[in-house]
Amino acid sequence: MPSFDTIDTLNDDTDAPAEKRVLLRVDINSPVSDGIVQDNRRFERHARTIQELSNAGYHTILLAHQGRPGGDAFISLEGHTAVLEKYLDCEVNFIDDTHGKRVAKAINATESGDVLLLENTRMCEDELPEADPNIKANTAFVQSLSKHVDAYINDAYSSAHRSHASLVGFPSMLPSYAGRVMETEYHANTAIGQKEFDGTVVMTLGGTKATDVIDVINNLAGSVDRFLLDGVVGELFLRASNVPVGFDITSETDRYDAQWKHNSKVIKSILTEHSDQITLASDLAYNEAGERAEIAVDSIIEKSVSFMDIGTTTAESYAEVIRDADAVFVKGALGVFETEAFAKGTVRVLEAIADSNCFSVVGGGDTSRAIGMYDMNRADFDHVSIAGGAYIRALTGQPLVGVEVLKSESI
Ligand SMILES: Nc1ncnc2c1ncn2[C@@H]1O[C@H](COP(=O)(O)OP(=O)(O)OP(=O)(O)O)[C@@H](O)[C@H]1O
Ligand SMILES: O=C(O)[C@H](O)COP(=O)(O)O
């Protein structure tokens, strides 16, 4: 399988970094509150790549997007400079445009070690919509920026599923490399299909998106020994086993029913085909007058409450499976962990992973947050992904166009 060149190759290829300008695509797309960007792990992770390049003497020109046009999070990147600087030993300069004469002048004025952030790429009309990499390479944005830099580095693994100009246009124009975040995320998130594990490989699957989980099971049933399920999705699997759960009785927009309608047949066939690999909850937790209450699945005889977490017995049995595993992959939360009373299942499973010597990858934008929220130590996991959509695509075996163009230009 062809791979991509990395910053190590860039360093080998480069005689005088202090004279070289590199275009670095990062993904610092983050939550925005009252128009202000909020710090999150993406800043800290990409800052390490930026610092490495700056320390080596490169002039680093940063490209990134924020939000989607029309959305509240679609803001300028000017405020992102201060957040990045929290993690860097150098200043981050900013210019409020993506290409053109002013940008060229600003890039040409940079000195060795400087970092310059360009405006939100999605404010440039050439960035969107998705199109073939060759079409994106021919845009004014890519053509003009390419003239003022010596190399392109893509560090934005978490956006690599998007065929946007800043992600796929440059590799055919410039020597191109994968950044450190791209490298780490790619190898960890594809490890499940590529690494050899001696013992049991376990995957916990939860969250709210049934189609994601179905695609993951279909893609990875040959590599994963045990799938431990819950969350909204796990309840739909219980419903397919004729347990009266997997309904949202408190809400008018029933997300369970819509997903059930589309997926019930395939869930039933997956349960039949992979019954020896799939484990469902044996007890569940719910809200009773503001308190956590639990019930054994066997005792649920009618649709009466909305379930919010796995019960204690399930949490302990999942923890035991994890204790004996050689590798554990996490996708989606096992309960509504944002509410402390219903965090037990998600936290117990993460703690069991942290306590064991297994190889572990925790992914999913939402689920990864539980580690910080409940004071667990990221260092106890081999990899905590900062990717959402790209992570699920990797688990479902779909290629990421931003990675593919890096690979093909490296051959
Ligand atoms: N029983 C449940 N009822 C309702 N919500 C649940 C339940 N169990 C888990 N969740 C919710 O699932 C969410 C995480 O699921 P999601 O499908 O978004 O997965 P993710 O992989 O972490 O994130 P993303 O796909 O957005 O990167 C959590 O916010 C949690 O509150
Ligand atoms: O947060 C993400 O998943 C990436 O930044 C991609 O953003 P998008 O879903 O708006 O393309």
The structure tokens listed for 57 are 């003497």
Taking the domains of the chain in order of start, what are their residue ranges? 7-181+400-410, 190-380
Of the listed ranges 21-25, 150-154, 165-169, 206-210, the one predicted with least confidence: 206-210
Q: Are 308 and 336 in contact (CB under 8 A)?
A: yes
The confidence band for 87, taking pLDDT boundaries of 50, 70 and 90, is very high
Mean pLDDT of the 369-380 span: 94
Residue 93, strand partner residues: 116
CB of 294 within 6 A of ligand 1: the answer is: no
**Residues near 234 by beta carbon (within 8 Å), at least 6 away in sequence:** 205, 206, 280, 281, 310, 334
Residue 36, strand partner residues: 33
Residue-wise pLDDT tens digits, 113-122:
999 999 999 9
Query: What does the pLDDT read at residue 411?
Result: 41
Query: What does the pLDDT read at residue 366?
Result: 82
29 is in an annotated binding site: yes
Pocket test for ligand 2, best of 158, 164, 166, 385 (most atoms within 8 A of CB): 158
Atom 14 (ligand 1) nearest CA: 207
262 is in an annotated binding site: no
Looking at the CA of 364, name the nearest ligand.
Answer: 1
**Beta strands at 283-288 and 291-296: parallel, antiparallel or unpaired:** antiparallel
Residue 188: helix, strand or coil by DSSP? helix
pTM to 2 decimals? 0.91
pLDDT at 409 over 80: no
Distance 355 CA to ligand 2 centre (A): 32
Mean pLDDT of the 282-305 span: 94
46 is in an annotated binding site: no
pLDDT at 255 over 80: no
**Beta strands at 151-154 and 291-296: parallel, antiparallel or unpaired:** unpaired
Distance 91 CA to ligand 1 centre (A): 37
Cβ-based neighbour number of residue 19 at 10 Å: 12
Fold that domain 190-380 belongs to in CATH: Rossmann fold (3.40.50)
Looking at the CA of 164, name the nearest ligand.
Answer: 2
pLDDT at 3 over 90: no
Q: What whole-number distance in Å separates Cα of residue 22 and Cα of residue 5?
A: 14
Query: What does the pLDDT read at residue 233?
Result: 94
Q: Which of 83-92, 186-195, 368-377 has the highest mean pLDDT?
A: 83-92
Q: Which CATH class is domain 7-181+400-410?
A: alpha beta
Share of the chain above pLDDT 70, in %: 97
Atom 12 (ligand 1) nearest CA: 207
Exposed/middle/buried for 107, CB within 10 Å: 0-12, 13-18, 19+?
buried
Query: What does the pLDDT read at residue 192?
Result: 86
Residue with the bigger pLDDT between 255 and 165: it is 165
Distance 365 CA to ligand 1 centre (A): 9
The confidence band for 225, taking pLDDT boundaries of 50, 70 and 90, is very high
Give the CA diameter of the chain.
72
Q: Are 249 and 257 in contact (CB under 8 A)?
A: no
The structure tokens listed for 84 are 């990045």
Distance 366 CA to ligand 1 centre (A): 6
Query: What does the pLDDT read at residue 275?
Result: 95
Mean pLDDT score of the chain: 94
Distance 29 CA to ligand 2 centre (A): 7
Mean pLDDT of the 218-236 span: 95
pLDDT at 365 over 90: no
Atom 6 (ligand 1) nearest CA: 336
The structure tokens listed for 241 are 């086993």
The structure tokens listed for 90 are 């150098």
**Beta strands at 115-118 and 59-63: parallel, antiparallel or unpaired:** parallel
Residue 226, strand partner residues: 202
HSE value, Cβ hemisphere, 13 Å, CA-based, for 8? 4
Q: Are 81 and 92 in contact (CB under 8 A)?
A: yes
Query: What does the pLDDT read at residue 251?
Result: 62
Residues with CB under 6 A from ligand 2: 27, 29, 68, 158-159, 162, 388-389
pLDDT at 47 over 50: yes
| Sole residue written with tokens 């046009």 | 69
Distance 228 CA to ligand 1 centre (A): 15
Exposed/middle/buried for 254, CB within 10 Å: 0-12, 13-18, 19+?
middle
Q: Are 60 and 115 in contact (CB under 8 A)?
A: yes
